[in-house]
Amino acid sequence: MQINQHIKKKLGNIVLSVLLFTMVVVFLFPLIFTIANSFMSEQEIETSYSMVSANSSGQQESAFASEYANIKLIPEMVTIKQYYTALIKRTQFLIKFWNSVIIVVPIILGQIMVSSMAAYAFAKLDFMFRDKLFFAYIIIMMMPFQVTLVPNYIMASRLGLVGSYSSIILPGIFGTFGVFLMRQFMTYIPDAYIESAKVDGASQLRIFFTIMLPMAKTALAALSILVFIDNWNMVEQPLIFLQDVNMHPLSIYLSNINKGEMGIAFAASTIYMLPMLLIFLYGENYLVQGIQLSGIKG
């Protein structure tokens, strides 16, 4: 009986491992596919993705039935010509890259400061309508982005910000998700630290900067990663708020690469996702810990 249970348990682990491995392959395939094709020549990419069909005798013909693509993951000859074209010959790529940096970095820094201060107030300070106001934050956070896009545009238009980076940066700084994440984490921090600091005569500002922020560094790291990923991939905001094409970020540039330049598209996509990939790999533990700890106590 025990032997049968052991066998069943072992078979279950094998099946689970196979399923997990399959899921990993499925999720990693686009990443591997993009990187591998970025080192192929333009001619090899066109040959690999030319649509052909096979008849009953195995000969290729131009019929519409049975079409397939000859997808390859290993280049016949490795080349970095696409990277040279994207980084050196075309100045638009680097311009769009720095446009993305100009937009994303202020949003990250601003949201860290605003979200952490608002979260401290919601978690540790007692003021009128605190819980109701935080509930309103949750309601706004659950709304689709398109719902708040029109009010943001109207407000930016009245302030004369449309056409400038401020029309994107300011709404990004005051995002609601960061307040929710940081508030959940700070609620978990014991009140005894704050009470001890008050006994020593520390002000609220000193308590926030010397006690709360150092103890919430895991949540701050997780918030930074999530905010970076969210805003690095933005598309709607630049298209609506920035009329000048030269001010568009890299996320918009990738969609405008010509159809006959697939090699450059793969190379540009690889460079585009490298910051996200490196930040995620470096901060994976902070991201997991920050999200887990923020849900310990609501």
- pLDDT for residue 259 is more than 80: no
One domain for residues 140 and 7: no
**Residue 73 in domain:** no
- pLDDT for residue 245 is more than 50: yes
Instruction: Give 143's contacts (C-beta < 8 A, 6+ positions apart).
Output: none
The arithmetic mean of pLDDT across residues 191-205, rounded, is 86
One domain for residues 142 and 176: yes
Q: How far apart are CA 110 and CA 266, in angstroms?
A: 33
One domain for residues 25 and 119: no
What CATH number should be reported for the domain holding residue 278?
1.10.3720.10
pLDDT tens string 65-124? 445 556 667 777 788 888 888 888 877 888 888 999 999 999 999 999 999 999 999 988
| pLDDT greater at residue 14 or residue 68 | 14
Residue 65 has a pLDDT of 41
**Residue 118 in domain:** yes
Residue 219 has a pLDDT of 86
- pLDDT for residue 211 is more than 60: yes
- pTM for the model stands at 0.78
One domain for residues 177 and 44: no
Residue 258 has a pLDDT of 62
Counting the structural domains of the chain, the total is 2
Residue 18 sits in which domain range?
A: 2-68
Helix (H) or strand (E) run with residue 167 in it: helix 166-173
Q: Which residues pair with 68 in a beta bridge?
A: 52
**Residue 10 in domain:** yes
**Residue 29 in domain:** yes
One domain for residues 254 and 117: yes
- pLDDT for residue 169 is more than 90: yes
One domain for residues 19 and 158: no
One domain for residues 147 and 48: no
pLDDT tens string 33-82? 888 888 887 777 777 766 444 444 444 444 444 455 566 677 777 888 88
Burial class for 155, CB neighbours closer than 10 Å (0-12, 13-18, 19+): middle
Specify the residue for token string 């680097």: 94
One domain for residues 33 and 10: yes
One domain for residues 40 and 121: no
Mean pLDDT for all residues in the chain:
81
CB contact burial 240-250 (16+ within 10 A = b; e otherwise): bbbeeeebbbb
The residue from 68, 98, 121 where one domain ends is 68
**Residue 233 in domain:** yes
Residue 25 has a pLDDT of 84
